[in-house]
Amino acid sequence: MPKIYKKRFDKSKAQLSHKGTVFSTIMFTPEELNSGLTSTWAFLTQGMRITPHKHSTKEIHFFIKGTGFIQLGKTCYSVKEGDAIYIPPNTFHETWNEKETELEFICISFSHKSSSFFLRILSLLYRYIRRN
């Protein structure tokens, strides 16, 4: 039987990352999952802005609290609790929060090699959300 990991996000232990522009905690590493997938729990307080950057990996951000904005390339999207955004590899993106309520999200980062693994997880997550 594969090893099972259970973790709980603790805001008080979140560290500033992305050059001090976001509070985050890596929940699961590729080594723990034996895949090219990383999951990070993150949040932005009012006025925080993750500076424009890009990755060679794909990302999906699941917004779980608050409202804010994400810019992908030259297109800006408003985001809120319940939204998910797919970010293709090598796409410049930035996220920011203008409201008092924290903008909280889970970022799943994955390589092409881990896509089938991730799509299975995403399918399970989608079924769970639809039931609740």
Task: Please state the pTM of the whole predicted model.
Answer: 0.83
* 2 assigned to some structural domain: no
* 89 assigned to some structural domain: yes
**Domain of residue 91, residue span:** 11-131
- What was the pLDDT predicted at 59? 93
Backbone angles phi and psi of 125, in degrees to 5: -60, -45
Please tell me the distance from the alpha carbon of residue 44 to that of residue 24, in angstroms, as a whole number: 9
Identify the bridge partners of residue 46 per DSSP, sorted by sequence position.
none
- What was the pLDDT predicted at 35? 77
CATH of the domain at 124: 2.60.120.10
Of 74, 132, 76, 129, nearest to 106 (Cα)? 129
Distances (CA, A) of 25 to 22, 76, 115: 10, 25, 22
Q: How many domains does the chain have?
A: 1
Which residues in the chain come in under a pLDDT of 70? 1-2, 112-132
Straight-line distance from the first to the last Cα atom of the chain, in angstroms, rounded to the nearest whole number: 28
pLDDT one-digit tens code per residue, 67-79:
999 999 999 999 9
* 5 assigned to some structural domain: no
* 6 assigned to some structural domain: no
* 87 assigned to some structural domain: yes
